[in-house]
Amino acid sequence: MKNYSHTAIRRLFSGKISHDVLVFEVTYHCTKNCRGCYIPKEKRKEKTVIDEKFLLSTIKQAKKLGIRNYGFFGGEPISEHAIPVSLMAASENPNLTFIYCTNGEYVAANDVSFFKNYPNIAFFLSIDGFEGTNDNIRGKGSYSSIIEASKKLKDMRRAQSAFVTIRKENIDEVLSEDFLNHLLERGFNYIQWAKYENNANNGEEVPNEELHTKLKGFRDKTMKMPVFQNSDIMGEFFCLDPENSQNKIYLSINGDMRIEREDMSEIIGNLNEKTMKDILDDNFEYS
Ligand code: SF4
């Protein structure tokens, strides 16, 4: 039996059902300027979108490896120019699940009733605290966009989750029952916890040990609340095993494959040169 060090890949080859996700960076374009965004500012001005044929052929390969869940991340994947390619992938693959990770701006400001026709699409809405803290990190007005977007998606009965990134500035606020109740009152019943990581090493990262302890304490307090919580940073929420924390594989627009989101230079292979299976075989140890 192969012993892959990356949890997602180990699960893939073991054939077990899991929530592992192949994440496409469908565009790097984004009009916002959140503090600590790992996409370089210059790159966020480029309107390039992932190639349609590349997207479909990659999904075909990944499907054969057993991946059922796909992420559309960015930049901002929900925008006038980026939406068509992702909708095309979702309609071509009705038996797979697609998840947008969005800042909510487009959804809040536009008619998005077309999403009703895509039952296999779900949404992660980025929110990093109560309004003051959130807007301090993500820019003025971000909180209102998320709340408005969430209301619209709820009215359309679309699956949505709050995507909360934990950093020193917000850890005690977001890991509080007050904040959890705040999210529940606004219709979120699923929360995805992520860890703020930044290669610039700007001191905003919470040390792993502290994060693990605080998440555990929070998990114990909120165990009986009507909310589904998930963490890919410290292992699945109800186990919190940092040794088994990775569950995503990332793909850059140019075909570079990574297992770290924030470090775009940590590339394990390029899909224009090799198959996904070959890249995984080349990079992970067997025992
Ligand atoms: S919304 Fe996302 S992509 Fe845009 S600046 Fe903020 S973190 Fe970066």
Model pLDDT for residues 15-63, shown as the tens digit of each residue? 554 557 899 999 999 999 999 898 999 999 999 999 999 999 999 999 9
Tell me which residue has its CA closest to atom 7 in ligand 1.
37
The torsion defined by the Cα of 247, 262, 212 and 202, in degrees rounded to 10, comes to 180
Percentage of the chain with pLDDT > 90? 66
Contacts of 203 (CB under 8 A, 6+ apart): 168
Domain 17-283 matching CATH 3.20.20.70: the answer reads yes
Tell me which residue has its CA closest to atom 3 in ligand 1.
75
pLDDT in tens, 91-120: 999 999 999 999 999 999 999 999 999 999
Q: Is 6 left (phi over 0), alpha (psi -120 to 50) or beta?
A: beta
The verdict on the CB of residue 159 being under 6 Å from ligand 1 is no
Hey, where are the domains in the chain?
17-283
Tell me which residue has its CA closest to atom 1 in ligand 1.
103
Contacts of 96 (CB under 8 A, 6+ apart): 59, 63, 68, 69, 70, 90, 120
> 27: CA distance to ligand 1 center in Å?
11
pLDDT in tens, 203-231: 889 998 999 999 999 999 998 888 888 88
